[in-house]
Every structure is written in structure tokens, then in C-alpha cells.
Amino acid sequence: MEYQFRTIEKKWQQRWEEEKVYLVENNYQKPKCYVLDMFPYPSGAGLHVGHPLGYIASDIYARYKRLKGFNVLHPMGFDAFGLPAEQYAIETGQHPAVTTEKNIASFKEQMNNIGFCYDWSREVRTSEPDYYKWTQWIFLQLFHSWYNRDKKKAEPIDELIASFDKEGNVSYPCPADESVQFSSDQWKSFDKKTKQGILMNYRLAYCGYGDVNWCEALGTVLANDEVINGVSERGGYPVIKKKLRQWYLRITEYADRLLEGLRQIEFSEAMKEMQSNWIGKSVGADIVFPLSGSPRRGERSQNLPGFGYAEYKVANGVNFENARKNRKNPTEAESLLWNALRNRATGYKFRRQHPIENYIVDFVCLDAWIVVEVDGGYHNTKEQQALDIERDRLLKELGFITLRVTNEDVLFETEKTINKIKETCNLSIRTSMERKEDNMKPSPHWGEGGVRVFTTRPDTIFGVDFMVLAPEHELVEQITTPEQSEAIDEYLAYVNSRSERERMAEKKITGCFTGAYAIHPFSGKEIPIWVSEYVLAGYGTGAIMAVPCGDERDHRFAKHFNIPITNIIGDSYNGEEANPSKDAVLQNSDFLNGMKMQDAIEVVIQKVEEMEIGKRKVNYKMRDAAFSRQRYWGEPFPIIWKDGIAIPLDEKELPLQLPHVETYKPGPEGEGPLANITAWVNQFLSTKGGGLETNTMPGYAGSSWYFLRYMDPRNEKEFADRKATDYWNQVDVYIGGTEHAVGHLLYSRMWTKVLYDLGFIGFDEPYRKLINQGMIAGDSRFVYRIQGTNQFVSHGLKDQYQTDELHVDVNIVDGFVLDTEAFKKWKPDYEDAAFILENGQYICGSAVEKMSKSKYNVVNPDIIVDKYGADTFRMYEMFLGPIEQSKPWDTKGIEGVHRFLKKLWRLFYEQDNFVINNAEPAENELRILHKAIKKIQEDTERFSFNTAVSQFMICVNELAALNCHKRKILEPLLILLTPYAPHISEELWHQLGNKRTVLDAAFPTYNEQYLKENNFSYPVAVNGKTRTELSFPVDTLQADVEKEVLANEIVQKWMDGKPVKKFIVVKGRMINVVV
């Protein structure tokens, strides 16, 4: 009987389905193992041979664990919401639900063809209402929660409200805007809308405003990759940034825990690095460099007190020094008042002797915009009073209210005075809050006056030779001098004309001087302020202090623009190259001289904090995640908008179903298509008095928690039963591509942490171990058409002609040999193609490229399975190479694996005779078997499937050589093979007379005893070069070995009479004689 793989495979696939062998029960008694694949987006193109790589690996592992006695959860589902289906709907009018359904059906058929052990009864689809009901539910949990920084966990928002009632927000500063401060009384006095506005600034799922890529011509919002060089990919229409109301997830609050969590999970080092780079934690300081009083071109626009230190130097000499001196010599009243105001004693943060414009005020609350002046004796003169009035007027123009108190007020009616200050602040903050509500954007942190930079190296502060602002920095417009105005405009126009990509890849140094100067906070030195595209607006403060001697880019910039470089590290800087060391000893650095840089960091931070010109700061690159899309095919938000307040739907009202629509045109003003369906939007109008949110959720909503749903997929009361989530717990092995490194994996980790914090599940990392599968690249084939003709010349002869290289469908090429008849039929154009052959064949050219339709190098697994069988396909994909490595597909190579299975078959059948016998196995046969058991078990455990397949081949080759047909050897071998080639294993297992499925057999245990060798054949090297082999019993004494080796003729020849210097024996490895 021949190996009829297709008959066997179809038979068993059917039997397994009928007998429901893959049904997984929540059997809490058995040890569990959860093996998960990243579920696919069901695209219209179907699977190509690259997709199943990870699925086969996880399938093998899942089956292996089952044989090892585990209750294995190995489910599959579909990430069914998404843009392509909607795009397809726009183009063809077919509803996304219909095309998605169709695509899923064909995906499932392709998968089943390969023989995966999925329990389809647990299938989930993110676009099904009974699934997205719980996506919406989790969204509401996020909406109803905030992050308690003290406890480092999410908590219900009600607890925050209780705290506000009690003490305002003193304990829990607002994560969105630190300047928002209020007392318990104030909180209570706020109206509903203000309160909700403030709470929105704390919620884990919140609404804010963000830029989108808006294309007027297409009337729609575009994804980043749909925008190329500032115009839309389709049509090439201009794209502008447009502010739209958007939902966000406050993932930044979890930055630290996401970083911490990486320590306890088994992701590859590269993956962990990618995630921590994305989170991008850096520790340093924010430092403000006051602006020098150079003329500016910008108006004092918007009545903002911008650059508090302007003219400061001109008017008062080193005025900043004065402020510091004044602080050290306060009057009695000032001292008393400072003690009453400092450390937020009133609930407001006050600074003293703080410069604003060209004044130094006694006390100021920058959040409430209140200045407090303590008037002593000399304020009573007429001239002084006039000056004071003028000063108050100017400050008022900047937005400050000045409250004047006398020395007497402070000294004798202290409490009354303090209360007065507090009330004034209260009043002010309310109006400020309202202003904010109107603008819907956070106010800048006023009064810091100057260029605020973030630096991780405050120790280098005396090496600052210039400052650089991002071109987008708001100060650029305001500080540029008239002389530099034209140059700056030109530079900004240049930057504007460049795409992000171009700016990123740019090696050239570009920049422009603004004409303005900042003042060094310690030395008082003037520092030129430049603009350059190498500073990014979105990171840190969008401005840097440049230290050329310690930073490579700063150094190049300084050299390029001839900016003098200050050396603060002596010999450690050679004048040619920046030295970013932290170990050098500081020089030229005033009070830091002689200090090691590493130690100076802390000293400087303390100093700037003391001087109140900066503070210690932990900075993250990561931004909050935009969580809404202006699209139809996604989860609707369970939110109603009423009078500008977001009102969540009740849990009982979920799922909020997506309405059926006929067109997918965007709504007005860039809203999603749902905005066009007024009946749907207003379905709660009568009961709740508002319309529904018309955005939908992004792709990663459904995929952030699907691993939980598989545990209890049909639960109608909860997203999953707690008993089930406790049992199945973390995913033990998660397999998928690297493209999800920072998106899906980070969001999913965050959601898990939130659900854990809120007590819904018992673990806070979703995936214990992650395996990344590499891509399978296509192996393209080319034909060469002689230019201007329909003649094709074989690869070896093409250089004799002028030819065009054209992709040809790999499916009509055998190796490199083109099937010319099939080629003629391939496209009408080639019908009467002529060929110039070499040796009677047309040889194609080749190249390894990404597998894609347009390159005609896509190989469909169905065709391979049809020709060689699923078992061969599975093993071959694994045999190609290490799972995490990318490699090219080569259909030719599959023959070897196929031959292996045929050879295995022949151990059971010779022609039509079943040749299995019950004889006792010989020692060498047992050694072969147990060597295989050991190796294959170890390789499977460490996901080294390619070497395991090799071992199968070695094993079968050796058994075939011995003509071994013994049941006691072959039966365990079949169990071993079951995870890799389940169909043939099951068939032969039954041929051996077994009645129950091999899927539940027990994995054989290997016996070390059979592996023991009595003799070992040692390679003998002289001076490291192997010269001969000598066999010794493994337990021979070294002295005996030495004697025999040295007596050996060949060894003696190579020793050439020289004395032995060293004699090395590595037991069971090798022998080396050194002469």
C-alpha cells in the first residue's frame, strides 16, 4: 500500500471533527497550558505560505503539551473589524459584514486544510455584538477609572470624587495639566460641566482634542501611511492637520509599570528593548533659561506674560542675581508671609522674588495669576506710588492681578491677610478654569519666562554654548529679532517643505539663528538661541541646551556654524569629537569643578530646585494612545453627548449595536460615517437627552483582551468567568510577528493591568512568553523580454540583448525552468511569445523579495497541501529554519521532507504488506529511538522545530538502514511524530491496532541507559589540529589515555620529536597534545 496522504488526511480531519477531539473543557483538575496565536485580520487575499508558520509552530507545541498530559487551550479567532473591509465597501458597495464573513470562511477552510487542533467552538470575532459588548464594557471600566499615582494602580473614579470633596486635588495633581489646582470648597462650588471637565482630565479613557490628517478633497481622515509627502496616497490631494475631538487612553500613567513588567516576562531581548525604547523613560531635569532682553518682533501676543526676564539684565545689571540676593535678605514681614505661603500652605503654589517682565515681584502664584506685593515704608512717596500704579497696570496687561498688602497687615493681621490672598486666588482660578473650558486646550505654564529645556545631563550645564528650539516651538515666532526675521522665515519654510521621513534621514546639518539670547542661570552668560530640525517639538519641551563637548549632534552643529565650544572636561575632550562620558571630572564649571559628572547631576538638580528655576523630571517618550477613528467598521462608543458632557450608557444597555448602513461616506466636519445616521445617533434622545458618539474604536480595542474571551467565550453575564480566568491565567506561549511589538502588545498589557487593578482578573501580564516568527520571503522568478519585441531570452543569454526584466508567476516555473506553454496561456499578451532557449530550456532569473501579489511570487498553501499533503507542508515549514528567522520560500526543497514521510511509511508497509513484527528491539535500535525522544523533546520545548525535524529524518534513516519493523520501536516513534505530522501518525497508529486516538497517547519517556556508549572515539589533535581518531572506553584513566596517545604512530609523526608541553583531555569530547 502506498502512502496516500490526501485520502488519509481527509479521513482523519473528518473523524476528528465528528468525534470533537479538539473540544477543550475548563477542567480545573488538570494542569493547564495556554498556547495562543495572534489572531489574523481576515483579508480578502487569503493565506499565503508565510502566514501558517506561526500557526504550525503553536499547533505543534499545543499537541506536544497535550501528549504530555496538559489540558491545552489552543483557540483561534478573527480580528474582524478594520479599515480594508471598509475601504473595499467604499469601492464595491459590499457591506463589510458580508465580505468579512466570506473572508473568514475561506481562512477557516485554509486553516483546516493544514490540520490545526483549534477548538472552533471557542472562536471569537471582534465584530460580533456578543463580543464587542464586552469591549464596550471594558471601555466603560476605563472611563470610570483613574490612576492613583500613590498606590500605583487604577481605581474607580468615585474614590477620586470623594477625595475632591474632602480636600480638593492637593493629593492627586491633575495628570493632564499640573496647573489645575483647587480646594475642596472650590470643587463643591464648581458647576456640573466644570466638574466633568476636570474629571475628564483624570479618566483612563478620556476625551480631548488631537490632530488628524484631514484631506478636504476626499472629505475624510487619513491614516499616517495613507499620507505621502503631505498629500494623500490616493489622488495626491493636500492633507492638513485638523483638530478633532478624540478619545484617548491614558497609557502614559502606566509607563512605569509597563517598563517594570518587562522584567518578569519572557520576551526576546530585542522585543523588550523595542518596548522600553517606545516608552522611553529618561530621568533628568527641566531647567528654565531666562531670555535676555533683546528686541523681539512678536507682539506681546494674547496678553500672555511670556518672557519674564526680558530687559532684566539691561535694566538692573545682573538682575537675576538680585532676585537671589533679595531672597536671602527678606524683610521681617516678607519672611513671615513666605512661611505662611510656602509649600502650598494655602493650597496654592507661591514663588517669591520672582521676575516677571522687567520687574521682580515679591510673591506670585503662577497658577492663579496673583501677585502679592508687601509694601514697606518707601512705597509711600508720591513718585513711588505713581510707579506702582504703572507697574500694576503693566502686570494686569499681562494677566496678573496685584494684591498689595502692607508690612502691618502681614505682621499684625496675619490670618486675615492670608485669607484675603487665598480668596483672591480662589476667585481667579475659577475664571481661569472657565477660560480653559472655552479654549479646550491646556494653558502653557506661565511665568517660567524663558526657554524651558529638558536635559538628562544637568551636570554639563556649564558647557552650554547655545540653545536649540524645534522649528515648531511657539517661542520661535516671538523671540526672533527683526534682523533674523527673514532668515528664520526662510528656514521654517524649508523645514515645512520636508516630510517627516526626509527630516529623519537627513545627514546634513541645518539650522538658523533667531538673533535672541538666553541667560545662563548660573554664569549669567548670554547664550544664542538657534532653531533646527534635529530638535523635535513633541519630545521633552521641544527645546534643548546644547553641550557640544559632550554631545555628538550638538558638536557637529557647533562646528558647522562656528559656535565656540566650551570645554568642561579638560583632556577628556580632544576638540575633534564630543565625549558623552559621565565619568569625566568637571572643569570650567564654577561650583561643580573637580566633581565627577555622574555625581554632579544630583548637585545641579538640587541647586535648580532650590533656586526654583527648574525641577527634577522623569520624562517619557510615550504619548497617550488615540482611541477613536472616524470610521464605520469598528466598535461604537457607549457614550452620549449632552450639553458637552459625556454620559456613559448603562451596562444593561450594552451592546450598543453598530447600525447597518448602505453608504460609508464620512460625516460632516470629518466626523465618522455614523454621524450620517441620525436615527441611530438620536436613539437615546428622548430618554437621555443627547446624541451618541459617532466615532468608533480602533483595531486594537478588540485585540487588547481577546485572549481572555477564549477562556469563556459564550458567557453572557461577564467577559469571562473569574474561575475560568483564574484557571487558564496567563497565556503560556504567544506566537506572532514583530510588527505588533509596540502597538497591540503594549495596549494589551495595559488593559490587562487595568482589569487586574480593578479586581476583575488575578494577573497583570497577559503573555508569559512571546515567540516572534520571522517572515517567509518570496522567491521571485524573472523572464527577459528583448526590448520592443515579444521575444524572451533565457537568463544565461540575456546579456547579449537589450532586455526588460519581468516578474513571472512562480507557479509556472519548475525550479528555474519556465513552462513555456503555461507562460503563453498566462496572459493574453504572451500568447504568441517566442523563446530563445539555452540547452533546450528557458531558465529564469531569481531574487528573494517580500511575498506579494504584484511580484507573482505568492505561494498558496492549498496548492502545496494538495500536491504533498498537510503533514509534509507542516514539517517543511518547520524544517526551513529557526522559527524567529526570516527566510525565503523554496518549493523545490519540500521533496526532501516528503521523501522522509514516504520512508517512514515504508517502515510499516513493503509494497502491500504490513510488515510490523513484535520482536524485541536490539540495543542499537533502542539507542536510535531514545536518542530521538531526547532530542525531539528538548527541541520542541525550546521551539527549535527545524532541528527536531532533522532528528526525525536521522532516526528514520537509521531504522531503515537496520531494516527495523519492530512495533516496540515504531509505536513510540509515532507518538513522537504526532505533533508534527498528526495525520500519518494517527493512520499508522490505528494500523497498529490501536482503537483510541493517538492525540491522547502518552509522550514516551527516554531512558538515559540506552544512550550510554561504552567507547568514545576521540579526535586527537596536535597543537590544535586534528590528526587522527582513537577510541577509548569512557572511563579510561587520563594517564592511560596519555600513554596510548603518545605511543600512536601518527601522533608521534606530528610531534616531530618535540617534548609534550601540555596534554589536554576533555572527557567525551576531544584530546589535544601541545608540543
Partner RNA sequence: GCCCGGGUGGCGGAACUGGUAGACGCGCCAGACUCAAAAUCUGGUUCUCGCAAGGGAGUGGGGGUUCGAUUCCCCCCUCGGGCACCA
The residues in 545-584 that bind RNA, with binding defined as CB under 7 A, are 551-553
Q: What is the rounded CA–CA span in Å between residue 32 and residue 53?
A: 24
Task: Report, in Å, the least distance between residue 854 CB and RNA.
Answer: 15
533 binds RNA per the rule CB under 7 A: yes
Contact positions with RNA (CB under 7 A) in 844-873: 850
Distance from chain centroid for Cα 469: 28
Q: Which of 274, 304, 394, 1030 binds RNA (CB under 7 A)?
A: 274
For RNA, which residue of 895, 910, 1000, 1013 counts as binding (CB under 7 A)? 895
Nearer to RNA, 14 or 1023 (CB): 1023
Quick one: which of 22, 132, 182, 454 contacts RNA (CB under 7 A)?
A: 454
CA distance 95 to 85: 8
Q: How far is the CB of 1011 from RNA (least distance, A)?
A: 12
Query: Which of 262, 806, 953, 1030 is the binder for RNA (CB under 7 A)?
Result: 953
d(CA 191, CA 194): 5
Closer to RNA by Cβ: residue 380 or 1017 = 1017
Smallest gap from residue 535 Cβ to RNA (A): 4
Question: Of the listed pieces 335-343, 587-595, 899-907, 963-971, which binds RNA according to CB under 7 A?
Answer: 899-907
Contact 305, 400 (CB under 8 A): yes
Beta 71-73 vs 32-37: how paired, if at all? parallel
- Nearest distance, CB of residue 613 and RNA, angstroms: 18
Nearer Cβ to RNA (531/735): 531
> Among 105-113, 227-235, 602-610, 882-890, which window interacts with RNA (CB under 7 A)?
882-890
Q: Report, in Å, the least distance between residue 313 CB and RNA.
A: 26
Site for RNA in 607-626 (CB under 7 A): 621-623
According to CB under 7 A, which one of 26, 282, 567, 729 is a site residue for RNA?
Answer: 282
Judged by CB under 7 A, the stretch of 154-162, 198-206, 880-888, 983-991 that binds RNA is 880-888
- Tell the burial category of 993 from Cβ atoms under 10 Å away from its Cβ (0-12, 13-18, 19+): exposed
CB of 506 closer than 8 Å to CB of 560: no
| Region near RNA per CB under 7 A, out of 52-60, 657-665, 974-982, 1065-1073 | 1065-1073
Does residue 888 interact with RNA by CB under 7 A?
Answer: yes
Question: Is the CB of residue 592 less than 8 Å from the CB of residue 462?
Answer: yes
Q: How far is the CB of 1023 from RNA (least distance, A)?
A: 6
Q: Which of residues 196-255 bind RNA (CB under 7 A)?
A: none
Q: How many CA atoms lie within 13 A of 682 on its CB side?
A: 6
Given the complex with RNA, which of 760 and 816 has the nearer CB atom? Answer: 816
Alpha helices in 342-413 (DSSP H): 382-397, 407-412
Q: Would you count residue 600 as binding RNA (CB under 7 A)?
A: no
Give the footprint of RNA on residues 913-942 (CB under 7 A).
935, 938
Nearer to RNA, 409 or 925 (CB): 925
Backbone angles phi, psi at 966, to 5 degrees: -90, 130
Residue 380 neighbours by CB under 8 Å, 6+ apart? none
Distances (CA, A) of 3 to 78, 493, 897, 949: 35, 71, 14, 19
- 470-499 positions binding RNA, by CB under 7 A: 470
Binding RNA (rule: CB under 7 A), the pick from 455, 480, 725, 794 is 455
Burial of 773 (0-12, 13-18, 19+ CB in 10 A): buried
Residue 1012 interacting with RNA (CB under 7 A): no
Q: Which is nearer to RNA, 339 or 499 (CB)?
A: 499
Beta-carbon count within 10 A of 507 CB: 5
Q: 276 vs 997, which CB is nearer to RNA? A: 276
Rounded to an integer, what distance in angstroms lies between the CA atom of residue 74 and that of residue 63? 9
Q: What residues contact residue 636 under an 8 Å CB cut-off, 6+ apart? A: 136, 656, 657, 658, 674, 692, 693, 696, 697
Residues 740-759 interacting with RNA (rule: CB under 7 A): 742
* Segment near RNA (CB under 7 A); pick from 70-78, 97-105, 406-414, 947-955: 947-955
- Distance separating alpha carbons of residues 890 and 303, to the nearest angstrom: 69
Site for RNA in 1034-1063 (CB under 7 A): 1062
Footprint of RNA on residues 139-168 (CB under 7 A)?
Answer: none
Q: Which is nearer to RNA, 269 or 920 (CB)?
A: 269
Judged on CB neighbours under 10 Å (0-12, 13-18, 19+), 123 is middle
Residue among 410 and 1022 whose Cβ is closer to RNA = 1022
| Dist CA 59 CA 37 (whole Å) | 9
- The DSSP line for 154-202 is EEEHHHHHHHHHHHTTSSS--SS-TT----HHHHHHS-HHHHHHHHHTT
Beta carbon of residue 880, minimum distance to RNA (angstroms, whole number): 5
Cα 119 from Cα 20, distance rounded (Å): 9
Q: At closest approach, how far in Å is the CB of 766 from RNA?
A: 20
Nearest approach, Cβ of residue 246 and RNA (Å): 17
Grid coordinates standing for 623?
Answer: 504619548
Q: In the stretch 284-303, what mask flags binding to RNA with x, by CB under 7 A?
A: x-------------------
Interface residue with RNA among 227, 340, 345, 960 (CB under 7 A) is 960
Total residues at interface with RNA (CB under 7 A): 86
Least Cβ distance, residue 255 to RNA (angstroms): 10
Distance, in Å, from the CA atom of 969 to the CA atom of 962, rounded to the nearest integer, reads 12
Name residues contacting RNA, limited to 56-115 (CB under 7 A).
Answer: none
Stretch that binds RNA, among 87-95, 390-398, 476-484, 897-905 (CB under 7 A): 897-905
Binding residue for RNA (CB under 7 A) from 113, 179, 194, 946?
A: 946
CA dihedral 853, 854, 855, 860 (to 10 degrees): 10
Closest distance to RNA from the beta carbon of 539 (Å): 4
Q: Which of 98, 270, 389, 1060 binds RNA (CB under 7 A)?
A: 270
Instruction: Identify residue 42 by its one-letter amino acid code.
Output: P
Quick one: how far is CA 92 from the chain centroid? 34
> Which one of 209, 815, 1000, 1034 is in contact with RNA (CB under 7 A)?
815
- The Cα–Cα gap between 528 and 516 comes to 6
**CB nearer RNA, residue 282 or residue 997:** 282
Task: Verify binding: residue 659, RNA, rule CB under 7 A.
Answer: no
Check residue 599 for interaction with RNA (CB under 7 A).
no
Closest residue by Cα to residue 336 from 409, 404, 402, 410 = 410
| Of 10, 152, 193, 899, the one binding RNA by CB under 7 A | 899
For 684-719, the DSSP string reads THHHHSSEEP--B--THHHHTTHHHHTTSTT-SSSS
By three-state DSSP, how is residue 502 classified?
A: helix
Candidates 9-17, 99-107, 130-138, 1022-1030; binding stretch for RNA (CB under 7 A) = 1022-1030
Cβ 779 to RNA shortest distance, Å: 9
What HEC string does 989-1019 produce?
HHHCCCCCCHHHCCCCCCCHHHHCCCEEEEE
Footprint of RNA on 508-527 (CB under 7 A): 510
Among 263, 382, 1012, 1025, binds RNA (CB under 7 A): 1025
Among 113, 424, 738, 978, which residue interacts with RNA (rule: CB under 7 A)?
738
Phi, psi (5° rounding) for residue 401? -100, 130
Distance (Å, whole) CA 824 – CA 815:
18
